Amino acid sequence: MSTFKAPKGTYDLLPPNSASYLAVREAIAAPLRNSGYGYIETPGFENVELFARGVGESTDIVTKEMYAFETKGGDRLALRPEGTASVLRAALEANLHKGGNLPVKLWYSGSYYRYERPQKGRYRHFSQVGAEAIGAEDPALDAELIILADQAYRSLGLRDFRILLNSLGDKTCRPVYRAALQEFLRGLELDEDTRRRIDINPLRVLDDKRESVQEQLIGAPMLRDYLCEECKAYHEQVRELLTAAGVAFEDDPKLVRGLDYYTRTTFEFVHDGLGSQSAVGGGGRYDGLSEMIGGPELPSVGWALGVDRTVLALEAEGITLDIPAATAVYAVPLGEEARRVLFGTVTELRRAGVATDFAYGGKGLKNAMKSANRSGARLALVAGERDLGEGVVQVKDLESGEQTPVAVDAVVEEVRRRLG
Look at residue 1 in the predicted model and tell me its pLDDT. 61
Q: Is 82 annotated as a binding residue?
A: yes
Report residue 383's pLDDT band, with 50, 70 and 90 as the boundaries: very high
> Domain check: are 352 and 247 in the same one?
no
> Domain check: are 268 and 293 in the same one?
yes
Q: Where are the alpha helices (DSSP H) in 302-407?
A: 307-316, 336-351, 365-374, 385-389
Q: Which of 316, 341, 359 is the last residue of a domain?
A: 316
Q: Is 132 annotated as a binding residue?
A: yes
Grouping H, G, I as helix, E, B as strand and the rest as coil, residue 38 is strand
Q: Is 261 annotated as a binding residue?
A: yes
Look at residue 203 in the predicted model and tell me its pLDDT. 81
Residue 2 resides in a domain:
no
CA 343/CA 363 separation, integer angstroms: 14
> Domain check: are 80 and 132 in the same one?
yes
**Per-residue CA distances from 190 to 194, 206, 228 (Å):** 6, 12, 30
Q: Is 230 annotated as a binding residue?
A: no
Look at residue 260 in the predicted model and tell me its pLDDT. 65
> Domain check: are 311 and 265 in the same one?
yes
**Mean pLDDT value of segment 185-210:** 84
Look at residue 71 in the predicted model and tell me its pLDDT. 95
> Domain check: are 104 and 239 in the same one?
yes
Residue 199 resides in a domain:
no
Give me the number of domains the chain comprises. 2
Residue 400 resides in a domain:
yes
Residue 145 resides in a domain:
yes
Could you read off the pLDDT of 12-71 as tens digits, one per residue?
A: 999 989 999 999 999 999 999 999 999 999 999 999 999 988 777 666 777 778 999 999
CA 151/CA 167 separation, integer angstroms: 22
Residue 387 resides in a domain:
yes
> Domain check: are 239 and 155 in the same one?
yes
> Domain check: are 295 and 356 in the same one?
no
Q: Is 309 annotated as a binding residue?
A: no
Q: What residues have CB less than 8 Å from 168, skipping those under 6 apart?
A: 174, 203, 223, 256, 262, 263, 264, 266, 284
Q: Is 154 annotated as a binding residue?
A: no
> Domain check: are 129 and 162 in the same one?
yes
Q: Is 83 annotated as a binding residue?
A: yes
Residue 217 resides in a domain:
no
> Domain check: are 248 and 390 in the same one?
no
Report residue 100's pLDDT band, with 50, 70 and 90 as the boundaries: confident
Could you read off the pLDDT of 249-273 as tens digits, one per residue?
A: 999 988 876 666 788 999 999 998 8
Report residue 374's pLDDT band, with 50, 70 and 90 as the boundaries: very high
Q: What residues have CB less than 8 Å from 88, skipping those under 6 apart?
A: 54, 132, 134, 289, 290, 293, 295, 298, 300
Which domain CATH number covers 35?
3.30.930.10
Report residue 296's pLDDT band, with 50, 70 and 90 as the boundaries: very high
> Domain check: are 302 and 233 in the same one?
yes
Burial class (CB in 10 A: 0-12, 13-18, 19+), 211: exposed
**Mean pLDDT value of segment 107-128:** 90
> Domain check: are 367 and 257 in the same one?
no
Which domain CATH number covers 386?
3.40.50.800
Model pTM score: 0.90
Q: Which of 293, 316, 339 is the last residue of a domain?
A: 316
Which H or E run includes 211? helix 211-216
Output the CA angle 275-280-282, nearest 5 degrees.
130
**Mean pLDDT value of segment 187-194:** 86
Look at residue 58 in the predicted model and tell me its pLDDT. 61
Look at residue 286 in the predicted model and tell me its pLDDT. 93
Residue 222 resides in a domain:
no
> Domain check: are 234 and 296 in the same one?
yes
* 403: pLDDT strictly greater than 70: yes
Q: Which domain holds residue 399?
A: 329-419
Residue 324 resides in a domain:
no
Q: Which of 316, 341, 367 is the last residue of a domain?
A: 316
